[in-house]
Structure 1
């Protein structure tokens, strides 16, 4: 690859992809043609570099490009078997590849290889798709752009679309691009800078025309009662609804959620055209592949009671599933893949906002971004004309495309805890941090709750971005703070599946030295704190109807009478019995409750570092730096227990291997015979 060509293409792609007005995440593709030396013949060869399948323009690197021999790519025209068999051409692209590595060729490769221009962009800008989905899009294209941009009627992405655009460019030498009906835009030029400029000119010209000539209220008047609730009410209602809605979206497959109360969403939800426009669904293939063909819309005002909203959502969910099944049955044939699921991926609640869903947090967030793109598209199309997306039959052809099914089949197997949402208390350090780290590594979304917000956020940042983990402040001894933490969890990830009661502290004192304040502090944090967290989380778990796990990090001291720790051991015994009580009470909802009894976790432990270690070392007459080995020496296995050992137990208890286990306490103490459970 010529470094200049590669650099130009990647930097152009990154600039275009960085601005969402130009294209959605992972949407569109760019290409460049140039000369490189064939390492086999030593001769110059003309190559095509194009963004590969599944990549994102904003973050594109050289590894995300597909490199093809242009002569072989163009020779495919001679063996093209026609529209009915055009899918076969995607496999043929593999025989045009040049060199090793790189991304798999995308379905749009033909558009880039067959168009006779050194540089080509294909993008999904909201303004461009607004023109592409307007009822009189062809007329508008001529009116807005003249002969510089040509209208291309809807055609499913593929080899034939590449041929169509190539022919249009040859027939219109003054054109710099085209509007793809129902889909997006393409632009071309002799240089990379000119191509980028042409793309931006089309996008900006379309946006300016809509702004200057469009209706000021394209979605109609505001419907009384459907206006946005104030910030406090809106977030409280969203948190109250989120678990139930997630359960509905997860009927066929567990989903992670995302909530948005973007002002543009709230405005759309308050307007009289909400129902008819939402029913039309999205149009751009990238959009509805992430959002399903249409959302589920609550048809009640914002001031309806939560009981009324929940009851109506249940009715709408039943109707949505039936409607989607009918859509599938209407358009499927003997060759169609099996229906992938009938639950909505976008749920719109007037006055509150948008709930979006996906297999992981990033997919859920992007689905919401795509539906916001669709709202912007509908706004632009309605401002100038009438929003007219592609037909359901065409949507089905793409949604259940054999090539799309093959792409899904190539995806790696999900990790053990993928799609699960974990809430871990006291997780900024020690055992809690190790548990959070292990769960995140196994695919879970993790909420790190800790009294120290800064440390919680820092610990979360170590695990990845906010699609992986967030850090929040939580005083587990305060009921309001606990409820706020659970609300923050369901708003961040859609719900909750796995709770770890780990927050704790200890004061090593004899009975006579233990004060009432010492007793209250330890019981408030551990016994009362675990109760408050379990109670608040159980409400969400029950509302979801998806089962779940509650884990108590208790202690060997819950069953072993050690010296000088009356308050700590008593509260750990309280926690241990909470496990049994809640296992019985929550079992009917599929919620499993189990406990772990560690002992002697010195390394990395926040409790030991805060003075407990020094006190216990003094009690046993050993140096503090030797305390871990002291604990190990008194065990059967003679091995020190570290935070990761406790995290391993949490992983096993909450994974797929012990699904019939509840009410159990697992010792993680290297074998302390006096603490054997009986």
Structure 2
């Protein structure tokens, strides 16, 4: 058992953290930190030792576990005061925390560790509530703090998180024994208590008191009136416009490096964008470090009315992007020093479209979604600050000091190397079972966001759920033979993940019949699903692929039957040949846009196949005069390698074709058939 498991203080700390972090009014995702001090037995001496348990770097309060805590010797941590070299060198203290750690495992100590260790209270909470930050970012925040809280809460002028801020708050608590916490200028709140219950109670009292005061004393319209023409469009209309704009905006956000997107048309966003003061306030940017580290210092906001045409909006967005990049470069150059890290990118992470909603971006879906949540926090903060006073975020110079902080850069450098398909958005048809499901599973495992498209919505959603939450995969209904249905599925992809990078035309079926028994209906059905279906999917996906300007992949799951003339299979084999030639035609046409088109020719995949389970297997077995259960081995025995082909083999081929190793390959068909000489490509 670990010391954490033996110490009631830790159990109380985790329970308190989870409660506080579960409510977004208290703090943002992965924002804030909590701590507890207590006594445990030192396994070396057998004597009691005072410890500090504090949420470590990068964790989230709502989901915090014991492994997310850093455990430090309190005496050693506090002894760092004696060697503190001053504010100009305070970053060195983070490395010194490692020499205070107790035991193995746990999380790395965060920059806020000093605050928790130096404050003379058994339990400390540091949170980022919207109501608290509204007071913290008000131009007269100090006076408001006294008016709202009396002497129970003390104002702390803005200071970058670090050792000195910990010393400051410790001194404030010592000098104000009646105080239960502080408002940290431009940042958030800190509260404390002798027990876990008292600390939580004090934190909630500060948050709720600020909320109540803003509600009772704030202006009703802090953002001003409504701008004519900028009101929210009807839901269906704004979702359609969002889908039409998504690829262009993702291309804008991905100019420097590929990004995954998230879209929201929440009322709080639409109301803000419709207001008179939205452009002015958005230009001021966010204030809380947790916010702007994920949203950039300010968003990009479209200055056209909601009723403007899509073409006009796209043209203006591209102009604004150039202006945004120039402004961000100027911001970097104005504040960078010789020691500053290189500029990480000049593209916006938040793009606001009046009447439509907000697009947010990140390296993966979760990061993109959280960035959007943080900007909603920022809107709430601006509303509260403007309701009581004037919104006054920290200066651009201070934002830069945090955004390009050496400690922040070190944190970024410690992040694991991304997987091969991280940041890519895949759309796989027929993906609720068999080959399609195996492909979706492999792509998700390699870091892609996956849309499981299938005729059966329930099965598609169930297959997507197996891959993880909606930050990883979603299920959509898609009748690939229906153009409107295909467009709706592609639009759903654009709204879910911001764009599309990788399309796998896998949906298929087969009716094994000789020529004289093949009906016109049989012929049309198979051609509608595979030949026409692949054409419709490729056409619908090509538009956003081109608009993004990021290249991409289209993969056709064809068949060895596209080149091999087997018996009693006229309709299926003919449509597979159609698909095979679509690969060549589209490789030529889409190559100028960086879109690669390739095909995979499997042999009969029996195991896990929806096609074989639906009667195709029985028909093929009858054709070859063998029991159906022996069909897989029959196919294997006629190959050169004598090995059965399974869905995962096809998924492996898709992974390789769409990965970095074959980035110069297009128009290729890869056999995955264990070697069928009659199907060799010539």
* Counterparts of residues 623-638 of structure 1 (less than 5 Å): 623-638=627-642
- Tell me by how many angstroms 1:188 deviates: 0.3
Which residue does 1:392 correspond to in 2?
396
1:215 has 2:211 as partner:
no
Question: What residue in structure 1 maps to residue 272 of structure 2?
Answer: 268
2:334 matches 1:338: no
Per-residue deviation, residues 243-267 of structure 1 (Å, max 9, x unmatched) = 0000010000000000010100000
Shift of 1:546: 0.3
1:566 aligns with 2:570: yes
Aligned to 1:14: 18
**Root mean square deviation of aligned Cα:** 0.4
Alpha-carbon contact 2:7-2:40 (below 8 Å) kept:
no
1:74-89 to structure 2, matched below 5 A, reads 74-89=78-93
SS of 1:35's equivalent? strand
- 1:290 pairs with one of 290, 294, 301: 294
The residue number in structure 2 matching 1:184 is 188
Gaps of 5+ in 2: none
Q: Structure 2 residue aligned with 1:411, among 415, 438, 460?
A: 415
Secondary structure of residue in 2 paired with 1:178:
strand
Query: Following TM superposition, by how much is the alpha carbon of 1:3 offset from its aligned partner in structure 2, in angstroms?
Result: 2.9
Instruction: Please state whether the residue corresponding to 1:266 is helix, strand or coil.
Output: helix
1:57 matched residue in structure 2: 61
Residue number among 500, 505, 519 corresponding to 2:509 in the alignment: 505
Residues 1:449 and 2:457 are matched in the alignment: no
**Which residue in 1 is equivalent to 2:164?**
160
CA contact (8 A) 2:439 2:651 kept: yes
Task: State the distance in 2 between where 1:290 and 1:22 align.
Answer: 18
Q: Deviations over 1:362-414 (max 9, x none)?
A: 00000000000000000000000000000000000000000000000000000
Map 1:295-306 onto structure 2 (within 5 A): 295-306=299-310
Residues in 2 aligned to 1:199 and 1:660: alpha-carbon distance in whole angstroms: 57
In 2, the alpha carbon distance for the partners of 1:3 and 1:436 equals 44
1:471 aligns with 475
Give the equivalent residue in structure 2 for 1:484.
488
Counterpart of 1:615 in structure 2 is 619
Question: Mapping of 1:21-40 within 5 angstroms?
Answer: 21-40=25-44
The match for 2:9 is 5
User: What SS class does the counterpart of residue 427 from structure 2 fall into?
Assistant: strand
Would you say 1:496 and 2:503 are equivalent positions? no
How many angstroms apart in 1 are the aligned matches of 2:446 and 2:357?
31
Report the 3-state secondary structure (helix = DSSP H, G, I; strand = E; otherwise coil) of the residue aligned with 1:66: strand
* Alignment match, 2:130: 126
Distance 1:461 1:260 in 2: 21
1:583 to 582, 587, 602: 587
Distance 2:255 2:576 in 1: 37
Question: Which residue in the other structure is 1:643 paired with?
Answer: 647
User: Is structure 2 residue 158 aligned with structure 1 residue 151?
Assistant: no
Q: Find the partner of 1:172 among 168, 176, 201.
A: 176
Partner of 1:256: 260
Question: Structure 2-normalised TM-score?
Answer: 0.99
List 4+ stretches of structure 1 deviating above 6 A: none
Aligned partners of 2:335, 2:667: CA distance in 1, in Å?
49
- C-alpha distance after superposition, 1:498-519 (max 9, x if no partner): 0000000000011111111111
- Residue 540 (structure 2) pairs with residue 536 (structure 1): yes
Is 1:73 matched up with 2:73? no
Alignment partner of 2:353 out of 335, 349, 357: 349
SS at match of 1:42: coil
- State how far apart, in whole Å, the 2-side matches of 1:503 and 1:5 are: 55
CA deviations on 1:597-642 (whole Å, 9 max, x unpaired) are 0012100111001100000000000111000000000000100000
Tell me the CA shift for residue 6 of structure 1. 1.0
2:176 and 2:507 mapped to 1: Cα distance?
Answer: 69
Which secondary structure does the structure 1 equivalent of 2:660 belong to? coil
TM-superposition CA deviations, 1:517-556 (whole Å, max 9, x none): 1111100000000000000000010010000000000000
1:94 alignment partner in structure 2: 98
Q: Distance in 2 between matches of 1:514 and 1:400?
A: 68
CA contact (8 A) 2:125 2:191 kept: yes
* 1:551 alignment partner in structure 2: 555
For the residue of structure 1 that corresponds to 2:39, the secondary structure is strand
Partner of 2:660: 656
Helix, strand or coil at the partner of 2:359: strand
Q: For residues 437 and 273 of structure 2, what CA distance do their matches in structure 1 show? A: 40
Question: Per-residue CA shift, 1:129-157, capped at 9, x if unaligned?
Answer: 00000000000000000000000000000
Measure the CA separation in 2 of the matches of 1:16 and 1:453: 37
CA distance in 1, matches of 2:388, 2:568: 78
Deviations 1:230-279 (A, max 9, x none): 01100000000000000010000000000010100000000010111000
User: Distance between the aligned counterparts of 1:139 and 1:3, measured in 2?
Assistant: 41
SS of aligned partner of 2:150:
helix
Q: Distance in 2 between matches of 1:99 and 1:90?
A: 18
CA distance in 2, matches of 1:218, 1:265: 15
